[in-house]
A = this chain, B = another copy of it.
Amino acid sequence: MTTDHLARTPKPPYYAVIFTSVRTPGDGGYASMADRMVELAAEQPGYLGMESVRDAAGVGITVSYWTSEQAIADWKANAEHAAARDTGREHWYQAFELRVARVERAYGFLRPSGHTEHAP
């Protein structure tokens, strides 16, 4: 299902954390940490979903969605998440920007079935 890449968020308003980053070369434990953070975030109260893409050049955008600013603050305070952020600054990221935003409105499009589907 291609639509698994899109978060199924509720009617706005809700909050988004937009994290744009450029990786340093090599893995150095990054991939397993990233998988773990996806898993851990999904367990947090107020989590609504996540969309994440990284290209071959190491540029990535991850957007996570949350019910409230408080839910974002609680996720930031999670000890395992804080440790991952520290290692990110030490090793994994060349640069990043993090933006917290309030989603005001949204709409989507899904191609009617019968058309070609993108390869998984």
Using a CB–CB distance below 8 Å, which chain A residues touch chain B?
A: 2-3, 5-7, 9, 12, 16, 18, 20, 22-25, 51-61, 63, 69, 89, 93-111, 115-120
Cβ–Cβ contact B101 & A101, under 8 A: yes
Given A57-B118, A57-B120, A102-B104, also A97-B22 (CB < 8 A): no
A101 CA / B106 CA spacing, docked (Å): 9
Cβ–Cβ contact B57 & A55, under 8 A: no
CB A75 to nearest CB in B, in angstroms, measures 15
Name the B residues within 8 Å of A25 (CB-CB). 116, 118-119
A115 CA / B95 CA spacing, docked (Å): 12
Name the B residues within 8 Å of A104 (CB-CB). 69, 100-102
Name the B residues within 8 Å of A95 (CB-CB). 2-3, 6, 108-111
A110 CA / B98 CA spacing, docked (Å): 12
Can you identify 22 A-B contacts, CB atoms within 8 angstroms?
A2-B94, A2-B95, A5-B57, A6-B95, A6-B97, A7-B20, A9-B99, A20-B51, A24-B115, A53-B53, A53-B55, A53-B59, A55-B55, A56-B56, A57-B118, A63-B63, A95-B108, A99-B105, A100-B103, A100-B105, A101-B102, A102-B104
